[in-house]
Homo-oligomer: A and B are copies of this chain.
């Protein structure tokens, strides 16, 4: 995953000699990984299958990514660059609702959903993937949500004794839960209910909260 931190400034700086890496190969690999995850999950998306599908040799993949999970992670992040922004001026409820809605929409995508499921699966047995997933996917989104909650506390929308980290878990966890276990639908109605029922308790004055859940 290390090499993916390459940014523009490097281009001019320490220009490596020899043939530069192929942009085509990188794109083909990520696309192939996504397609295969979609078709049959991590079980089908073997390194060999990805290489074959992408018309690339295995060595080329290993040259740039340390593991299958790293490819999946980068492929996932690729399609997700800018979901972290929230419109300004929203209430705490609407801001969280926006974030949950964006997450659900992403995971409903027929490529992204399986990719994330596969990533979570890999993370259970690959500590490096788990770390990367936490740092590069989870943490940034948690930070934004935490900021939303904290500003809610400052503005008096949210009670002062609330544990922010726990709130963030309460906001996102149910979404991943349904993705991972697949016991129930993952749609907009769920997002409404989820944030509604959560916020009703996070408000300082919670009169008639239950009805506000819809």
Contact = CB atoms under 8 A, between A and B. Distances in A.
Interface of A: 41-43, 117-118, 120-126, 130, 133-134, 138-139, 142, 158-163, 165-167, 169-170, 172-174, 176-178, 180-184, 190, 193-194, 197-207, 209-211, 213-214
A31 to B, nearest CB: 20
A200 to B, nearest CB: 4
Nearest to A175: B173
Given A121-B122, A194-B170, A213 B181 contact: no
A165 B177 CA distance: 12
B210 A161 contact: yes
A174 B183 contact: no
A210 B200 CA distance: 11
Given A163-B213, A201-B203, 18 more contacts: A41-B124, A120-B180, A124-B180, A142-B183, A159-B211, A161-B213, A162-B197, A162-B213, A166-B193, A166-B194, A167-B197, A169-B177, A169-B178, A173-B177, A201-B206, A205-B206, A206-B209, A207-B207
Contacts of A182: 130, 134
A35 to B, nearest CB: 16
Contacts of A121: 120-125
A107 B180 CA distance: 17
Contacts of A181: 120, 123, 130, 133-134, 138, 176
Contact of A42 (B124, B170, B213): B124
A132 to B, nearest CB: 12
A174 B180 contact: no
Contacts of A198: 170, 197-198, 201
23 contacts: A41-B125, A120-B181, A134-B182, A158-B210, A161-B210, A162-B197, A166-B193, A166-B194, A169-B177, A169-B194, A170-B170, A170-B197, A173-B173, A173-B174, A173-B178, A177-B177, A198-B201, A200-B206, A201-B202, A201-B203, A201-B209, A206-B207, A207-B207
